[in-house]
Structure 1
Amino acid sequence: MEPSASSQITSDGTSVIKSPIEDEPAVGEGPLFRGIPSSLSKLDGFMAHMNRLLLNRENHDYLILFLAYASHFVATALETPTPKVLWDLANRTSKLISRIAPSRLSLILQTYRLQSLMTKIPTCKMVLAERMRALSDILMDWQIITRLWGLLAMWTEAKDFFVGLAAPKAAKETDNTNLWDFVAEKAIKATYIVGLLGYYGAENVAWLNKRGVFRFSEKTESKLNMWSLKGWGVFVFSELAQLLHERSVRMRAGEEESPDERKQTRTKFVQVLLWGPLTVHWSREEGLMPEIIASFLSAYVEFLTTRGLWRGTAVS
């Protein structure tokens, strides 16, 4: 049986025929769907924000690196033995609770065997640490593969640098700027390129050798990893020199930074200053600090970068 149309009397006395379809709620407007938009709005906003962040290749690389360092820190923290003082404190607390607790509560504690559950914590920690370590290794491999293609960009940047030195335009720039500033800028740029080429090149050759693409000895692979870290150290030094040089130029010119620029510069200084001891730590066999501190600092540095990118891609 087909549904019949209904009529409605308006304020001026005319009759309007309404289709039965118009009486039905639209999709997403009925009682069943009424709560869905509000409950999913935050998730939808997060996914849209994440999509904007990942549209840029450089942002994508920074996010992967942050996740890799964060999972590495979690794995390292889980692998770190719990201090004996904490275990003694937990045992004393459980004994104190069982002593002063009512009989019914003591029976519940005995039923759930909290003491036996506490003994299983180390095993659960190691299992979770293995999972996080595996995730960290996958993300680090992903990042290394990305940096392999970064060699192409560095090749282009190095070519542009040398072509720019030989071009007449470089001579004109020296007329408009201080000679020492010009020399400092070119020296910093050259150090930056050499550092990243050494870092990317040695790291990728060592990684490809580890995966069986090359057949170098383990000793050669270890040397390549060490040269990669030295290249990274040169890059960090060039970043610090660039920040100090820019600050010197601004001070001599009497320019003042805006609050946002000052905040970005301060964050960059913190990141570079933290990368310094981390580079020394990784380049020494005995290390410079406990691994849990090193993993936390590396994750924190990448967190600062990712937080800045996240705020930069927010919709105002």
Structure 2
Amino acid sequence: MALPLTTRADILASRLSILFSTPSGTDAVLRTITYTLQFVSGALSTLLTKHLVTVSKALSARSPLLPGETLLVALAYPTPALARITPRVRALSALISDFRTFTRLWGLLGMYAWGKGIAANPPKDLTLKLAAWAQWSAYTAYQFLENRAYLGSKGIISRAGPQIMSDFLLSTRCWMVGVGMEFVRLGRVWQLRQRTTRARQVQGTESVELRKEEMEEEKAWATKNTAEITKWRLELLANVANAPLTVHWSTPGGVLDDTTVGFLGMVTGLLVLLPKWQQTAAVVKKA
């Protein structure tokens, strides 16, 4: 007989257990954690740097120098705890990121299953069909190139440094193509939904009186449509946050600072994690 979930700790542990029981749930949690850590680490470093610069300027202003003199000042962190926490946060974030990359090594199997699904049941709309195949091709190339770069960086396969960097950059550019096609897919989905909504509205105005069954059907459709719109908006927000990251990692040296990268990654992680977290509540409630 299952023990009743009577405490918050029990419920929290049960929901986390459900979340970590699937690869997608585990990745959503780890993605959110690693980017949150990167955001916190970057924000702390920025604040500390600004503080030290301010102190240095203040000391320089109070200590006028004669021509040829130089003022040397040794500054320490405001609190020793921050000096210890910041590198540890970065180390943990890097470790989680490395683990997530490792778990994507068998991602090509998922690409195979995805491609097989598209071939067996392709979207009826031509635009959605082309977008699906374009995304599949882009993400398959991304996965292959990332796998080769990662294995090369670990010395498992023979790849020179420039080749590894090239693979990482090309893989991110393939990801960029996939993100671009996601905008196309989302735009087409919205367009088709708007057409369906207008058609149902026109059909409704033609009927003076709806039967009870039809009213129930309309209510159910409205509920489903609301849920789909919410899902669409979350997917759009996640894609908008991902877009700058694809640009950042597809250029040598990147174009964004660590704080911005951490913030954007944290946003995308939360947008993926929150729906999954809500689903665990329904599972625990049934138990």
Q: TM-score range by the shorter chain?
A: 0.7 to 0.9
Cα pair 2:77 2:83 within 8 Å, conserved: no
Choose from 243, 260, 282 the match for 2:227.
260
The one-letter code matched in structure 2 to 1:219 is: P
1:178-236 C-alpha deviation (Å, 9 max, x unpaired): xxx2x212211111111211221111111111111022111001100001101111121
Aligned partner of 1:213 among 129, 149, 156: 156
**2:42 pairs with one of 76, 83, 98:** 76
User: Do the aligned residues in 2 keep the contact of 1:274 with 1:301 (CA within 8 Å)?
Assistant: yes
Classify 1:286/1:147 alpha carbon distance in 2 versus 1 (closer, same or farther; 3 Å).
Answer: closer
1:47 positional shift: 0.3
2:84 paired residue number:
127
| Distance in 1 of aligned mates of 2:160 and 2:45 | 30
Residue 296 of structure 1: SS of its match in structure 2? helix
Provide the residue aligned with 1:203 in structure 2.
146
Does structure 1 residue 55 correspond to structure 2 residue 12? no
**Number of the residue aligned with 2:182:** 239
CA contact (8 A) 1:79 1:125 kept: no
Q: Is the 8 A contact 1:78 1:128 kept in 2?
A: no
Count of aligned positions: 237
Query: How many angstroms apart in 1 are the aligned matches of 2:166 and 2:108?
Result: 20
Conservation of the 8 A alpha-carbon contact between 2:38 and 2:259: no
Letter in 2 for 1:303: L
Alignment partners' CA distance in 2, 1:193 and 1:222: 23
Give the TM-score of the pair, scaled to structure 1. Answer: 0.67
Q: Distance in 2 between matches of 1:264 and 1:155?
A: 25
Per the TM alignment, residue 87 of structure 1 is displaced from its structure 2 partner at its CA by 5.1
Over the aligned positions, Cα root-mean-square deviation in angstroms equals 2.8
Under a length normalisation based on structure 2, what TM-score does the superposition of the two structures give?
A: 0.73
Look up the equivalent residue of 2:194 and give its one-letter code: M
Structure-1 separation of matches of 2:246 and 2:11 = 37
SS in 2 for 1:66: helix
Deviation of 1:262 (Å): 2.1
Q: Contact 1:79–1:126 (CA<8 Å) still a contact in 2? A: no
Q: Match of 2:137?
A: 194
* CA displacement at 1:46 relative to structure 2: 0.6
Q: Given the alignment, which residue of 82, 85, 95 partners 1:138? A: 95
Q: What are the ranges of 5 or more consecutive residues in structure 2 without an aligned counterpart?
A: 59-74, 201-221
Equivalent pair of 2:241/2:267 in contact (CA under 8 Å): no
> After superposition, where does 1:107-186 map in structure 2 within 5 Å?
119-121=76-78, 124-162=81-119, 164=120, 181=125, 183-186=126-129
C-alpha distance 79-270 of structure 1, shift in aligned 2 (>3 A):
same
1-side partners of 2:102 and 2:128: how far apart? 30
Structure 1 segments unaligned to the other structure (5+ residues): 1-36, 92-117
- Structure of greater Rg: 1
1:257-296 aligned within 5 A: 258-285=225-252, 287-296=254-263
Question: Alpha-carbon deviation of 1:123?
Answer: 5.2
